[in-house]
Amino acid sequence: MDRVEQIIELVNNNPGIRYSEIMRLTGLKNGVLSHHLSKIEQSGRILVERTPRVARIYPCGMQKEQTMIIKNLRNQTASTIVLTLLDGDASFKDLVSKTKKSQGTVSLCLKSLCDDGLVERIFSNGNMMFHLVNERLVRSLVEIQRPSFIENTANHISDIFSSI
């Protein structure tokens, strides 16, 4: 299998994969990978989402809402929150308990999930609860987004640095 096909297969099997993960998994140097990704992107076979700190690569044809969900599922805290909300609405206190993270971390993550349009705040019996906006789509994407332990560890470390 040539390098281009190897990269495309990696992206198809790991939607939302980070540039650094591709580099690590393929053993390609930065410049070589950059060249190949640029050519593949120009051919329309992948979608590259660039942010100031992270580049994520998705298979071509994914909708913005799908990429947003996958991006959040690759973040340990956001993923725990989303998976918890698949079981039903939850309070802030429940989410802090379930994630085993500080209130500040959960609050920042919930703000991001709400800003991304994945989670909404609702009031039920005088209590603020959190609710998944598109539960059906999230459920369909959860199965394709099961990163390995190494990827979870790498994502957790990058979560720390990207929040600084």
Q: How confident is the model at residue 18 (pLDDT cuts 50, 70, 90)?
A: very high
Residues 54 and 76 both lie in one domain: no
Q: Determine the pLDDT at residue 28.
A: 92
CA-to-CA distance for 110 and 108, rounded, in angstroms?
Answer: 5
Domain-embedded: residue 24:
yes
Q: What is the average pLDDT across 61-66?
A: 88
Q: Domain of 107: which CATH number?
A: 1.10.10.10
Domain extent, residue 2, equals 1-62
Cα distance from N-terminal residue to C-terminal residue, the chain:
39
* Residue 33 clears pLDDT 80, i.e. is over it: yes
* Residue 138 clears pLDDT 60, i.e. is over it: yes
* Residue 81 clears pLDDT 80, i.e. is over it: yes
- Which element (helix H / strand E) includes 120? strand 119-124
pTM assigned to the model: 0.75
Alpha-helical regions (H) of the chain: 3-13, 19-26, 30-42, 64-73, 76-86, 92-99, 103-115, 135-142, 149-162
